[in-house]
Amino acid sequence: MDAATTDAQEYMLSRDFPTNDYTYFYGKQQINSQPNHHLPPPPATTIMPVFKVPFNGYSVKFSPFYESQLAVATAQNFGILGNGRLHVLQLSPSPANPGQPISEISSFDTADGVYDCCWSESHDSLIVAAVADGSVKLYDLSLPPTANPIRSLQEHTREVHSVDYNVVRKDSFLSSSWDDTVKLWTVDRPSSVRTFKEHAYCVYSTAWNPRHADVFASASGDCTARIWDVREPASTMILPAHEFEILSCDWNKYDDCVIATASVDKSIKVWDVRSFRVPVAVLNGHGYAVRKVKFSPHRGSVIASCSYDMTVCLWDYMVEDALIGRYDHHTEFTVGVDMSVLVEGLLASTGWDELVYVWQHGMDPRAP
């Protein structure tokens, strides 16, 4: 491991870990994925694609329109300083084809790192990117690279850490920032519709409710998650969810009252907002901060997560042995994970090792 990687890891650990009780994790755990009886087995002929990007991976998102497309947000020098690039990748039309499993459709360069991205829910060629210079950029794949970005929205005063598109109304999206705010945008407006400012520290993640068009959640370094209704003047609920920074949140796609939070304390907690004083479940198993959490779009009780311990985990929070799969294919911090809406059991991950993996649950992501 080179000095640059070491310095960047120390930087991230010092940012996200509020105490010095954690030792640095440079080794690689030898943990094999566990069998899972809750998801269908993948086809025996499935090829596990991998794609090398030039910068450190930060986020990966499957297209909600095309099962073979995904977007990847990347940043140079571990996101501390340097350029960024948004990649749009294409999976092979035939998973059994041993040729080029992943190819690049397009890419867009930025002067600063790209920390997150999301697809429009109404336009199949539109992607929103969260950029380290405080901007939110919109890209249209139907236009040539020279015509992009089609819009650069510059209101945040610090890095934009996440973006999330409204899956119900399909005409608006959220951005969250290290300036402690969340902003609501629509594609047709050059300025934000509203700014939500209650958090006392960086807002790392937002997630729209899957059924209620006006409701979303936010996760912050102030150790709280908040529930918001855009029709109300203030947040409608505050969850003191963890004792350390909360890095991610997501709603259950089949129960609009259930939300998961992921924290620097290495745990994932599942909450029912109708009775939120005690979590429904606490999922322990990661060795370091949990960077991203994502509910399955196909199975209500299944959650995917990724961590600074370099692993991707799958959980079923409704069973006693909640950890149903662990993958250790990355060799640096794993910071992005997603589950395909269109193909059940298909996962993607990216990390600081500059690799993007796509695989079916139950298979080794490194399989040739």
CB 5 within 8 A of CB 332: yes
SS3 per-residue string spanning 50-72: EEECCCEEEEEEECCCCCCEEEE
Q: Residue 24: pLDDT above 80?
A: no
Mean pLDDT of 165-188: 98
157 in a structural domain = yes
Using alpha carbons, select from 281, 272, 355 the residue that is nearest to residue 312.
355
Mean pLDDT of 34-45: 42
pLDDT reported for residue 18: 36
The C-alpha angle with vertex 131 and arms to 129 and 133, in degrees rounded to 5, equals 150
pLDDT reported for residue 14: 39
367 in a structural domain = no
pLDDT reported for residue 11: 38
365 in a structural domain = no
Q: Residue 7: pLDDT above 60?
A: no
252 in a structural domain = yes
Count of domains forming the chain? 1
Mean pLDDT of 229-253: 98
Q: Residue 140: pLDDT above 50?
A: yes
Tell me the residue type at 316: D
Partners of 104 in the β-ladder:
89
pLDDT reported for residue 257: 98
Residue percentage of the chain with pLDDT more than 90: 81
Pairing mode of beta strands 160-165, 172-177:
antiparallel
249 in a structural domain = yes
Starting at the edge strand found earlier in the chain, the sheet holding 355-360 runs 50-52, 355-360, 346-351, 334-339
Mean pLDDT of 169-182: 98
What's the CATH code of the domain at 205? 2.130.10.10
Mean pLDDT of 218-228: 99
368 in a structural domain = no
The pLDDT mean for the chain works out to 88
The residue ranking higher by pLDDT, 112 or 18, is: 112
366 in a structural domain = no
Which two structure tokens, joined as six digits, stand for 186? 């629509």
pLDDT reported for residue 30: 27
Confidence of residue 362 (pLDDT cuts 50, 70, 90): confident
Q: Residue 132: pLDDT above 90?
A: yes
335 Cβ contact list (under 8 Å, min separation 6): 57, 58, 59, 291, 292, 306, 308, 350, 351, 352
Per residue in 290-339, pLDDT tens?
Answer: 999 999 999 999 999 999 999 999 999 999 999 999 999 999 999 999 99
Q: Residue 131: pLDDT above 90?
A: yes
Per residue in 270-286, pLDDT tens?
Answer: 999 999 889 999 999 99
Q: Give residue 227's domain range.
A: 3-15+22-360
Report the distance separating Cα 263 and Cα 84, nearest Å. Answer: 26
179 in a structural domain = yes
